[in-house]
């Protein structure tokens, strides 16, 4: 699974396998979604990688974020 977190216009956009998932005002919210997608990939046994496009336009490839802790 490819996860993209990219600054576009005035929002942080999250995509999964080139399909839009959501747009967020704050990077932390976009990364929360990226963690949820990474957890799904892990549960399905899929390989996962993360691409981030910063506000300055630079691209970085990183390992997928670790899933957040479940609450409840």
Taking the C-alpha atoms of residue 20 and residue 3, their distance in angstroms, rounded to an integer, is 10
* Predicted confidence (pLDDT) at residue 62 exceeds the cutoff of 60: yes
Average pLDDT of the residues in 51-56: 93
pLDDT digits (tens, 9 = 90+) for 6-44: 999 899 999 999 999 999 999 999 999 999 999 999 889
Domain range annotation of the chain: 2-63
pLDDT at residue 66 tops 50: yes
pLDDT (average), residues 53-64: 91
Burial (CB count within 10 angstroms: exposed 0-12, middle 13-18, buried 19+), residue 71: exposed
For the whole model, what pTM was predicted? 0.84
């Amino acid at each position: 699974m490819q996860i993209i977190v990219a600054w576009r216009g005035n929002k942080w956009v999250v995509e999964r396998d080139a399909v839009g998932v959501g747009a967020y005002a704050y990077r932390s919210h976009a990364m929360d979604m990226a963690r949820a997608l990474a957890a799904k990939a892990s549960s399905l046994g899929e390989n996962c990688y993360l691409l981030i496009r910063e506000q300055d336009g630079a691209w970085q490839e990183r390992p997928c974020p670790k899933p957040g802790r479940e609450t409840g």
